[in-house]
Amino acid sequence: MAERLLDAKHEVHGWNRTRAKAERLASRGLIVEDSPRAVAQACELTIAMVSDNAALHAVCEGEDGILAGLGAGKIFAEMSTTAPALVRELAEKVRARGGALIDAPVSGSILTLRQGKLLIMVGGDEEACKRAEPILLAIGPTVKRVGDVGQAKAMKIGVNLSLAVQMLAFSEGVLLAERSGVDRRVAFEAFLHSVIASPMLQYRAPFALDPPQYAWFDTAMMQKDLSLALELGNEVRVPLPATSAAQQVLTATRAAGFAKEDFAVIFHGLAAMAGLERDPATIPPYAREEHG
């Protein structure tokens, strides 16, 4: 995201808890700051994208947090996948400082981002969303306001639960075919050329057989998002039976020793339950220690 903003000739200030991750972009023009507060003080628009609710608290609160650096007229675009209630609370704190918060989570992967095909869903004050839009368009070509603060988070959670549910259904279908005598790779190819092959399945399902060099979105992160979905479903009274099933299979998958891998490894978790051994060639190097 920072690279795309730099490519669009924006002045970009950045901070990361692992400083080296920010410093690697210094040669591209990123101005590395010493705290989230310093970033917010320097910028008209501050963007945060972190792993979970706790991480968001950590970068926002305190004397060096984002909130301390915000002032009148400034915009805070919170792009993490976090609870809608939390971002609404945060919006009130930003408003008290004279600024405006918009929640702006994304739909897409690392590949989607690099290809310039990312969707950014935005919730918040319409004027603030319009002011932020030119900058957000440098990150992804599609920026869509879906409603008020918190509603973009709800949209994002709804999208992400579908990723796990689709991957689980795909895995069930392939394993059913395999147990009936069809070669696993033949089944993968057939399913990925069938009507059920969503764009997500087309690029992610192959990870189960040919894993990426690093996890794009590991099982722990996916389970975090499914937990957010189940909590929100309880709050707004929407039953989520398929989400619950995916969460349980992912729990078993992690318990089987697949915690560090991309969530596409749910396939191998389900295969283990079916009594099928995993081909060692499908275990990525970074996860081999986990498997002994």
The angle formed by the CA atoms of residues 38, 44 and 50, to the nearest 5 degrees, is: 60
- Structure-token pair, residue 144: 């869509």
Domain regions of the chain by residue span: 2-148, 154-287
Average pLDDT over residues 45-64: 94
Domain 154-287 in the same topology as domain 2-148: no
Q: Which one-letter amino acid corresponds to residue 146?
A: V
Rounded distance, CA 111 to CA 9, Å?
Answer: 22
Options 1.20.1050.10, 1.10.1040.10, 3.20.20.140, 3.40.50.360; CATH for 154-287 is 1.10.1040.10
In percent, the amount of the chain with pLDDT more than 70 equals 98
- Structure-token pair, residue 229: 């979905």
Average pLDDT over residues 188-201: 95
Q: In the structure, what pLDDT confidence band is assigned to residue 213 with cuts at 50, 70 and 90?
A: confident
Residue 152 clears pLDDT 90, i.e. is over it: yes
Domain 2-148 has CATH 3.40.630.30: no
pTM equals 0.89
Provide the pLDDT for residue 89.
Answer: 96
- Structure-token pair, residue 245: 């099933």
